[in-house]
Amino acid sequence: MSEPVVLVQKLVKRYGDLTAVDRISFQVDRGEIFGLLGPNGAGKTTTVECLEGLRIPDEGELRVLGERPSPTNYALKAKLGIQLQETAFLSRLTVEETLALFGRLYPRRRKVSELVELVALTEKRHSPVRDLSGGQRQRLAVALALVNDPELLILDEPTAGLDPQARRALWEVITQLKGEQKTVLLTTHYMEEAEALCDRVAILDHGRIIALGPPPELIAHHFQETPLEVELSAPAGEVDFSALPGVTRAVPDQERVVLYSTAPTDTIRAVSRLAEEGKLPLRDLVLRRPSLEDVYLLLTGRRIRE
Ligand code: ATP
- Please report the atom of ligand 1 found closest to the CA of residue 36: 6
Statement to judge: residues 108 and 242 lie in one domain? no
Statement to judge: residues 134 and 46 lie in one domain? yes
Averaged pLDDT score across all residues of the chain: 91
3-state DSSP call for residue 216? Answer: helix
Identify the bridge partners of residue 82 per DSSP, sorted by sequence position: 154
CB 80 within 8 A of CB 92: no
Domain presence at residue 238: yes
What average pLDDT does the segment 59-79 reach? 93
Statement to judge: residues 214 and 133 lie in one domain? yes
What average pLDDT does the segment 127-141 reach? 92
- Indicate if ligand 1 lies below 6 Å from the C-beta of 188: no
Statement to judge: residues 234 and 215 lie in one domain? no
With bands split at pLDDT 50, 70 and 90, how would you rate the model's confidence at 306? Answer: very low
The CATH number assigned to the domain holding 209 equals: 3.40.50.300
Domain presence at residue 61: no
pLDDT of residue 305: 62
CA 46 / ligand 1 centre spacing (Å): 6
Domain boundary among 167, 194, 219: 219
Out of 13, 24, 36, 46, mutate this one to test ligand 1's pocket (max ligand atoms within 8 Å of CB): namely 46
Q: What strands, in cross-sheet order, belong to the sheet with 18-28?
A: 18-28, 6-15, 59-64
Statement to judge: residues 193 and 234 lie in one domain? no
- Interval 39-62: pLDDT, tens: 889 999 999 999 999 999 999 999
Weakest-pLDDT range from 22-36, 46-60, 204-218, 240-254: 240-254
- Indicate if ligand 1 lies below 6 Å from the C-beta of 42: yes
Q: Which domain holds residue 214?
A: 28-53+74-219
Amino acid (one-letter) located at 148: N
The CATH number assigned to the domain holding 251 equals: 3.30.70
- Please report the atom of ligand 1 found closest to the CA of residue 160: 2
What average pLDDT does the segment 69-91 reach? 88
Domain boundary among 173, 203, 219: 219
- Interval 225-261: pLDDT, tens: 899 999 999 877 788 999 999 999 898 877 889 999 9
Q: What is the total count of domains within the chain?
A: 2
With bands split at pLDDT 50, 70 and 90, how would you rate the model's confidence at 222? Answer: confident
| Distance in angstroms (rounded) separating the CA atoms of residues 47 and 204 | 10
| Distance in angstroms (rounded) separating the CA atoms of residues 5 and 23 | 19
Domain presence at residue 229: yes
Domain presence at residue 285: yes
